[in-house]
């Protein structure tokens, strides 16, 4: 009897863990899915359910997707009201949010922003091309820097677009203006917030990458010194500089990135705010 009770208790706990785990997983998966869908949509891609399913099935995507509300604990402040930017701060979920998101979509039809975005993209791309032209081995670093710039540019276009809507509001019938202006102000405030957070996040990431690169550079120098100082056991002391590390391969992970990581100067694209 006692055993039966224990078994039942264990089964109950296991079931509860499974249910809670399942809910958590489902919520998380949903966040990732929404982020992927929104990002694709922002990039002009209409993906089927099957394709999105396929894209989100890899668990590693959770880590690689930086959703301010989910991944960055220190960004939690203000997120309750910040899940609805067109680019995908939508992690928090909920009915109010999805309604808000719909509003956002109608308010910010992509086509209206597209030209702005393409211009921003072209600027970023020019820098990216220059970076790649300069970088001999570490082209991956350029892509990483490009990604950061792209995210900032996304956020900037949203701010710029919203700022440009004041004129449209002025053209509205008088009775609608106040409400529209209030809505615009609210969205602009959130967009600026998002831009700030994106800039901070990208700057942090750049700084971390730079630090890693410096650390690695230091380690490489140390090992080179050690190689030079240590008596050669093969008798080839005359060749300390054997080219054993020919241009580390295209590692995006931050090695040799005095070029790629060194692009934090991008953060303040003039005219962003």
- The residues of the shown chain that bind another protein, judged by CB under 8 A, are 35-36, 38-40, 42-48, 50-51, 54-55, 58, 60-61, 63-67, 87-88, 121, 125, 128, 139-140, 143-144, 146-147, 150-151, 154, 205, 209, 250, 252-254
Give the residue with the Cβ less far from another protein, 29 or 180: 29
**């350029």: which residue's tokens?**
142
d(CA 42, CA 40): 5
Contacts for 266 with CB less than 8 Å, ≥ 6 apart:
127, 145, 148, 149, 152, 202
Which residue, 205, 203, 208, is CA-closest to 269?
203
Cβ 143 to another protein shortest distance, Å: 5
Contacts for 272 with CB less than 8 Å, ≥ 6 apart:
152, 156, 159, 160, 195
Cβ 234 to another protein shortest distance, Å: 35
Which residue, 146, 162, 148, 177, is CA-closest to 86?
162
Give the residue with the Cβ less far from another protein, 58 or 225: 58
Cβ 42 to another protein shortest distance, Å: 6
Give the residue with the Cβ less far from another protein, 39 or 169: 39
**193 to each of 65, 95, 199, how far by Cα in Å?**
19, 22, 10
d(CA 82, CA 194): 8
35, 88 contact by CB (below 8 A): yes
Cβ 270 to another protein shortest distance, Å: 22
Give the residue with the Cβ less far from another protein, 138 or 272: 138
Give the residue with the Cβ less far from another protein, 204 or 225: 204
Cβ 148 to another protein shortest distance, Å: 9
b/e map of 121-137 (b: 16 or more CB within 10 Å)? beebeeebeebbeebeb
Give the residue with the Cβ less far from another protein, 132 or 187: 132
Cβ 80 to another protein shortest distance, Å: 20
Give the residue with the Cβ less far from another protein, 180 or 214: 214
Cβ 139 to another protein shortest distance, Å: 7
b/e map of 2-21 (b: 16 or more CB within 10 Å)? eeeeeeeeeeeeeeeeeeee
Give the residue with the Cβ less far from another protein, 177 or 248: 248
Tokens (6 digits) for 127: 């820098």
Q: In 96-184, which ranges are E strands?
A: none
Cβ 129 to another protein shortest distance, Å: 10
């Amino acid at each position: 009897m006692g055993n039966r009770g224990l078994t039942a208790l264990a089964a109950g706990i296991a079931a509860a863990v499974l249910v809670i785990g399942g809910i958590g997983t489902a919520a998380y998966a949903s966040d990732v899915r929404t982020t992927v869908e929104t990002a694709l949509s922002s990039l002009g891609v209409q993906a089927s359910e099957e394709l999105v399913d396929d894209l989100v099935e890899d668990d590693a995507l959770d880590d690689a997707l930086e959703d301010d509300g989910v991944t960055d604990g220190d960004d939690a402040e203000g997120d309750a009201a910040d899940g609805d930017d067109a680019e995908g701060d939508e992690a928090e979920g909920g009915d109010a949010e999805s309604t808000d998101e719909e509003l956002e979509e109608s308010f910010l039809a992509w086509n209206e922003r597209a030209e702005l975005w393409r211009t921003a993209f072209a600027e970023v791309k020019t820098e990216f091309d220059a970076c790649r032209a300069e970088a001999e081995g570490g082209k991956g670093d350029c892509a990483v820097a490009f990604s950061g710039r792209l995210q900032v540019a996304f956020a900037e276009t949203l701010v710029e677009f919203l700022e440009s809507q004041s004129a449209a509001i002025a053209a509205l019938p008088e009775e609608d203006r106040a409400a529209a202006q209030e809505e615009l102000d609210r969205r602009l405030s959130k967009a600026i917030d998002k831009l700030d957070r994106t800039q901070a996040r990208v700057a942090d990431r750049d700084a971390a990458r730079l630090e890693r690169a410096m650390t690695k550079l230091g380690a490489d120098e140390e090992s080179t010194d050690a190689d030079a100082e240590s008596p050669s056991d093969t008798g080839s002391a005359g060749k300390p500089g054997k080219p054993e590390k020919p241009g580390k391969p295209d590692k995006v992970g931050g090695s040799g990135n005095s070029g790629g990581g060194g692009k934090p100067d991008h953060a303040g694209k003039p005219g962003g705010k």
